[in-house]
Structure 1
Amino acid sequence: MTKWLNTSFWNFVARTLLRNRHWVILLIVAFTIFMATQWQYIRFTQTEANLLPNDHKDNIAYTDFLKKFGEEGNVIVFAVKSEDVFKPATFKAWNNMMASIAKNKEVENVLSFNEILDLKKNDSLQTFQTQKFIDPTQIADAAYLNNKKHDLLNKMPFYESLLFNKKSGIVRSVIYVKKDIVNKPDRKEFVLNKLIPAIDEFKAKTKTDIKVSGMPYIRTLNAKAIISEIGLFIGATLLVTSLIFYFFFRSFRTTLMAVFVVMIGVMWSFGLLGLLRYEITVLTALVPSLIVIIGIPNCIFLTNKYHQEARAHGNKAKGLQRVLTKVGTATFITNVTTAVGFATFIITDNKLLQEFGIVTSVNIMLLFILSLFVIPIFFSFMPIPKAKHLEHLERGYLVNFKNWIIDQVKYHNVKVYSVAVGILIIGIIGVYKMKISGSILEDMPKKTAFFDDIRFFEKEFNGVLPVEILIDTKRKKGVMKASTLKKMDELQQEIEAIPELSKPVSIVNLVKFSKQAYYNGNPAFYDLPNSQEQAFILPYIKNSSKDSKNNPLKSYVDDTGRYARISTFMKEIGTDEMIEVEEKLQDRINKLFPKERFTVTITGKALLFQKGTGYLLDNLIESLIFALALTAALIFFLFRSVKMIFVALIPNLLPLLATAGLMGYLGIPIKPSTILVFGIAFGLSVDDTIRFLAQYRQELIRNNWKIKKSIFSTLDEEGPSMFYTSFVLLFGFSVFTLSEFGGTVALGGLVSITLLFGMLTNLILLPSLVLSLNRSIANQQELKELTMDVLENNEDPDAEGEKK
């Protein structure tokens, strides 16, 4: 069923391609123009990565919370030292800044120093009324402001942790962004073009340092950083890979040809994103750079083969046809295996990974077609390579490296196997040291000002990552029952005792504030009403809630009074610590809230991301196993040998294990970005294995099944291409270490290390295994009848090609 991939097929492709090269060029130009028209549909994602499928129970719980209380990540906070801002001139400038921000249509509410509300009881109406804590007519009075600062820090416990840190004297203002724009482009427009200019103007006027944070702000600047790196990576990978290409081939024209191929591939990758209407995410942003990295090896492989043909007989037409007839199937298979490595992400239940897998795998195959068309056509217009362009085939460093490899395989099998076993043992030990990280902040750029501000808020206010507890009392107005409030208060005390969490806010805080107001603002009475006090304080609260416009309860209790929320924030912590925190809370919840009377759910973005990381790990392990299975099936399909499967997989699994072990020793955690390393590296590394085994099979036929001679002939023939392509991939991925994002740095560095290991195992361990096991796997009966000819016979070209 695969006879179409034989010599006749590739002869037909070569003839058709070269005879109709002008039409092929026009076809490529037309397709490129079409893909360019799809760029208009490219959009950057405005939502956070949701690593869980929509039907997952934790996702359902989070969606249920959003339906009742709306987006919880809509807060932007500003912090400043109290002694700086409570100066008349600075205080006035601060108020003006907050007032200008509040006027924007994207802002729902502002809670600032001049907007702080105090509760006062109205005995005649039996209600609580709000009034401004600071009289705007007296803000020019330094003594007045100083007294108000003292009152805020010492007499307003309701605002502690929300607006100030009593210990350090740091105060902050809060902006509530409208919930319906948090996941829309309007958020970006507001933060970049309205909020930040207002902050910069205040800083310039007052010379006061402001710390800014909150999820809308963090997400916007993080997204901006991702977008800015797309161009950096494309330019850097193109520069590095093209320089290496030129270093190998010493030809400007050939290097420009390779650059042209990958740039067209990059244009197509953007076009495919638009065509499929996929948004640019933290993963799909890497696709154009991956196309450059993966495309250059295709150019190297085909160019190297053409140069070998040119050196052998000096006939351009024959050489171009032989390039396709000899390596057409091999190039196709290796691109398929690379695409399969990325395509396995499609089987996950995660939309982010599925889109990444689809775009990358499709682009790899498009790039294969582009390389196969453009490179022979390019060389058909060029004169036969000169002797200086062929010198790289026998360059000193390459010959020395090749001889060293052959020496290791020929004379040092025991050392090779000893090193392999040593790496295996060390890798296994390292794997047990690995940890999982599920923090949203883990991969954010740590050298940026906004990340410094995150650390500031973690220190002063215990974090910016929202955690929500949703309480269902299962009855209308059940939240305001004294017993429910008492249970919530006990749970909040448990939260306050956990150092990783900030002081929580809920209806309990408002009830305590109401009691304080009932006793004329005395902070000693900031507590829940006792059974006697409830009779005369709760009516005040209920009467206050009738004013729907200024109802202070609406953010913490739903309209029916059945559901309540407890809101807190969390520091950036590891997955193990987060699980510990969740278990503590859940244990306390189980004791306080009987399941037959209450349903209590812990949710929020931080927890959701942590759960998603664990789920993603399971999915990607499955996808890696699937990739291994597909590769094993492909090896068996090509070579009809079960034993060959093990020989092929061992050199590719050992580098993965070594990298995993290295991550354990270096403390690099398993997280969404680093999990991808293994699938990507395996898909790229196995290409060398297939090329080696395919060439080895051909050498067996040419050398009358002489094992040793065939192995060393294979190393001589394929070694340079394997070295060149691995070298380009290694340095190409190392470009990602220039990123400001920890995850991208880890991805680039770990893939590079894995590919280095993979190159050495495929050049040393693989031939050593074949040599050691030659009597059981390398025999005519097992390898003579293949499903398809991966590499065609090197002796006689197609007759048609001879005539050309």
Structure 2
Amino acid sequence: MMKVPGSLTGRLFFWWADHPWAQFTLLVLVTVLALIGYRNPSIVRDLFVSAATSDDPEPRRSRRNDTARSAANAANVEPFQIAGGDCVLVVDVMPSAADGDQPADGPDDFFRAAALSAIRDVAAELESMPQVDSVLWLDNVPGLNLFGFAGTLLPSSNASPRQFDNARQTVLDNPLAVGQLISPDGSTILMHLRLDWFYVTSDAAATTEIRERAEQIAGRTSDANLRFQVTGPVPLHLMTSDSHMHNAAKYQAIGYSIMLISALVLFRGLSAVIIVAIAPAVGVFWTMGMLRFFDLQDNPFNDIIVPVLISLVGLTDSVHLMVEIRNQRALGLDTKNAARIGIARVGLACVLTSLTTAIGFVSLSWAHHEIVRNFGWCCVLGVLMTLLSVLTVIPLGCRSPLGRSLHVGLGKSLIDGQLRRIGPIVGWVLRHDRAIAWIAIASTALLAITCLKLQPDEKRYSGMSEAAEAAQALRHLDQKLGGLEFGFVDVQWDDTTSNTELLSVLGAVSKLLGSEPLIGYPLGLHELLESLPGEGSSEERMTLLELLPAELKRAFYSPERNFASTQFRVQDLGIAAYGPTFERVETGIAVLQENHPRFELALTGDAPWRWRNIYRIVNDLAMSLGTASVVIWIVLTVVYRSVRIGLISIIPNLFPLAATGTMLVISGQNLEMVTVCVFTICVGIAVDDTIHFLTRYQEELQHGGDHADVIRRAFTGVGSALLMTTIVLIAGMMSAVVGDARDARLFGIMGSLTLGTALFADVILLPAMLSRFARKPARL
């Protein structure tokens, strides 16, 4: 029988392995608590847990919204809003003639009878739908004239070709129309729909029902040839949520199936695979139920990141534990004693891997953003639940009827043959330990320095399926109208400011925004006055303000509040693309404010908010990785009682992250939340394998012998589990590569690359580092 050191931890694990009633009691107790969490967490929460109150998330509304709303109420005027619809119906005139020829009644735009008649019928019919409260499109734009005459920008459907040409010129010269409700080429029109939520009884009522109704109405007009797509805040939210939930279920199902099949092929034993698979599955089930006791279930990372993280960490520990148990069976022990020895030998490593991973995630609790803080605590809870499940399910499974067949497949694993091939490689590494060790240190440092070039980034809808209708419409709007989202430059002034200076400042703001190619179609009081006929100085043109319709003035100008605003369109290109643009705008605003000290200017809106705060969120995650690395080094140093071993562990843990980060730099990617989350997941797995290797190495040191032989025995003891977990996990993560969402593909590619390089680091770099810098037991 393999002798296990009689340490305190060894005795504790022996006791745990010898008391199945304690394991079963824990299994039942935690399962019942998880079920209560799924059904009604308040039963336990109200009794034992005081409801935790969290700070409100940082407000994302600009001063413009509050000020404009207050001003509008004061003047009893509803401001005219170019945007603001719950849904946006994107209508395109499609080419209607072959070989690029124009149709008989004009070019392919809305300034022809068929298209205009169809779009008017669509607007009228949509407004009659019960779930649609109002429709804003070109026909609703107030007239810009000096006499206040009512009328529409668009001509009658029976207008002559000359009248259509005149209308085209009028519309495309109107700042309220071009770039706002119609594209500069006249081929795309936006219709903003406000919903009556009392009648929105399903997701389809706010998305597909609207599009299908529009298509049906337009189909009645021959030669209209219109295409309809639904996007906007509500459809994007619904389609993102649906895509997120669908992809989460699909990728997890595919990933877990691939991992199960891979494990079955590698283990060559169904009983071992079932026990190994159940342990992390129970951990995921427990975790998602327990999160509800702390109101953490709605964190956006929870549906994919947390389950994948804890299942991967749990699977790693399960495989290491099961491989050791099967090895003991191969030595002739019965299942009961093999489980006892296996838990005693690997249990401490499992506890250490969970401890280091959990401590690393605790560092997220100091993050600035609530989402990141909660994500950290979710991971901590998940890792602890998974540790309990592994140490409970594995020994119980070995005592169950499944345990009788654990020996099936022993010696027939595909890994055993590969391990024999890798053995000589390890020998070669040990013979060239000096060169490999210094190459490992130098390459890790070089790769880490390269990673510093990564810039934080976020695309608002990068997680959505590219095939989704709302995503396609969003990309189309980026090209045709400069984006769906708006930003604002808010201007406030004191009571001594003249109208001349105000209009001069607003003109400078418009000029500043117009000089930026990524900023689309600035619109404010300056643009409205400039579009009115006539010439003159700023003071003279300011007198024309009274001729504008009240709802237009209130949209951009509130004199009683000393407030004005200029809006602009923003594409969904990511904050990394807009970072330099926003920096130049803020610099220009600062100079303008310095030249006009009685004014206060601010860049506001969701896009600038994300630009400022996504750096904080991503940097929080990145800093947590750095903190986790330091904490892991400290923990390993204390546990192994060796500063040298702690320092040696840095290279195999840092190398995979640095290599993957360098790949991102080379491929032109940025540091996004999804990429940092992949790093967070993979560093936990990489550390797990390193800890298992070092724990076995420390144990083999106690048996003595040549130091190179000690390293070889350590590799032989854990090498099979290292290869097995890496192959299974890479197979599972590669399932996301075939997804149609960019974030999912990036997740799969990065995860697979990080795990592959982590295996390389543990098989090649770690033995060389141990051989070179931990040569004799006396020097440890």
- Give the TM-score taking structure 2 as reference length: 0.84
2:120 is matched by which residue type in structure 1? N
> Aligned residue for 1:8?
11
Q: Quote the offset at 1:569 in angstroms.
A: 0.7
> Aligned residue for 1:67?
66
The yes-or-no answer on 1:264 pairing with 2:279 is no
Q: 1:410 to 1:134 in 2, by over 3 A?
A: closer
> Aligned residue for 1:311?
330
Mapping for residues 428-507 of structure 1, pairs under 5 Å: 430-431=450-451, 434-442=454-462, 444-475=464-495, 481-507=499-525
> Aligned residue for 2:613?
612
Structure 1 residues 159-192: Cα deviation after superposition (integer angstroms, max 9, x where no partner): 22223334x22241331647x98xxx99967533
Structure 1 residues 474-503: Cα deviation after superposition (integer angstroms, max 9, x where no partner): 339x6x923312321232133223221111
- Indicate conservation of the 8 Å contact 2:525/2:553, yes or no: yes
- Indicate conservation of the 8 Å contact 1:432/1:664, yes or no: no
How many angstroms apart in 2 are the aligned matches of 1:679 and 1:387? 36
> Aligned residue for 2:257?
239
Structure 1 residues 442-471: Cα deviation after superposition (integer angstroms, max 9, x where no partner): 554445443333332222222223211111
> Aligned residue for 1:654?
655
Q: 1:25 to 1:643 in 2, by over 3 A?
A: closer
Q: Quote the offset at 1:158 in angstroms.
A: 4.1
The yes-or-no answer on 1:358 pairing with 2:358 is no
Q: 1:249 to 1:439 in 2, by over 3 A?
A: closer
Q: Quote the offset at 1:599 in angstroms.
A: 0.7
The yes-or-no answer on 1:370 pairing with 2:372 is no
Q: Quote the offset at 1:722 in angstroms.
A: 1.8
Q: Quote the offset at 1:600 in angstroms.
A: 0.3
Q: Quote the offset at 1:238 in angstroms.
A: 0.9
How many angstroms apart in 1 are the aligned matches of 2:589 and 2:23? 72
> Aligned residue for 1:565?
565
1:192 is matched by which residue type in structure 2? T
2:426 to 406, 413, 418: 406
How many angstroms apart in 2 are the aligned matches of 1:642 and 1:486? 66
> Aligned residue for 1:752?
752
> Aligned residue for 1:173?
190
1:97 is matched by which residue type in structure 2? V
- Indicate conservation of the 8 Å contact 2:82/2:180, yes or no: no
How many angstroms apart in 2 are the aligned matches of 1:316 and 1:680? 33
The yes-or-no answer on 1:713 pairing with 2:713 is yes
Q: Quote the offset at 1:80 in angstroms.
A: 2.0
> Aligned residue for 2:52?
none
> Aligned residue for 2:142?
117
2:207 is matched by which residue type in structure 1? L
> Aligned residue for 1:798?
none
> Aligned residue for 1:585?
585
Q: Quote the offset at 1:573 in angstroms.
A: 4.3
How many angstroms apart in 1 are the aligned matches of 2:495 and 2:89? 35
> Aligned residue for 1:790?
none
> Aligned residue for 1:50?
none
Q: 1:417 to 1:533 in 2, by over 3 A?
A: closer
How many angstroms apart in 2 are the aligned matches of 1:506 and 1:129? 21
Mapping for residues 318-397 of structure 1, pairs under 5 Å: 318-382=337-401, 384-385=404-405, 387-392=407-412, 396-397=416-417
- Indicate conservation of the 8 Å contact 2:682/2:751, yes or no: yes
Q: Quote the offset at 1:433 in angstroms.
A: 5.1
How many angstroms apart in 2 are the aligned matches of 1:758 and 1:533? 68
> Aligned residue for 1:37?
39
Q: Quote the offset at 1:566 in angstroms.
A: 0.6
How many angstroms apart in 2 are the aligned matches of 1:225 and 1:12? 47
1:464 is matched by which residue type in structure 2? L
- Indicate conservation of the 8 Å contact 1:87/1:142, yes or no: no
Q: 1:72 to 1:366 in 2, by over 3 A?
A: farther
Q: 1:201 to 1:474 in 2, by over 3 A?
A: farther
> Aligned residue for 2:603?
602
Mapping for residues 179-258 of structure 1, pairs under 5 Å: 191-192=206-207, 194-202=209-217, 207-258=225-276
- Indicate conservation of the 8 Å contact 1:293/1:732, yes or no: no
The sequence identity of aligned pairs, in percent, is 16
- Indicate conservation of the 8 Å contact 2:111/2:186, yes or no: no
Mapping for residues 681-760 of structure 1, pairs under 5 Å: 681-703=682-704, 706-760=706-760
- Give the TM-score taking structure 1 as reference length: 0.82
> Aligned residue for 1:47?
none
- Indicate conservation of the 8 Å contact 1:433/1:665, yes or no: no
- Indicate conservation of the 8 Å contact 1:203/1:209, yes or no: no
Gaps of 5+ in 2: 1-5, 44-54, 70-80, 94-106
How many angstroms apart in 2 are the aligned matches of 1:144 and 1:216? 40
Structure 1 residues 343-387: Cα deviation after superposition (integer angstroms, max 9, x where no partner): 433321122222222222211211221121112112212253365
How many angstroms apart in 2 are the aligned matches of 1:155 and 1:340? 61
Gaps of 5+ in 1: 42-52, 123-127, 517-524, 546-550, 783-804
> Aligned residue for 1:795?
none
1:10 is matched by which residue type in structure 2? F
May I ask how many residue pairs the two structures share in their alignment? 730
Cα RMSD (Å): 3.6
- Indicate conservation of the 8 Å contact 1:306/1:319, yes or no: yes
Q: 1:431 to 1:370 in 2, by over 3 A?
A: closer
1:114 is matched by which residue type in structure 2? D
- Indicate conservation of the 8 Å contact 2:243/2:464, yes or no: no
Q: Quote the offset at 1:754 in angstroms.
A: 1.7
> Aligned residue for 2:47?
none
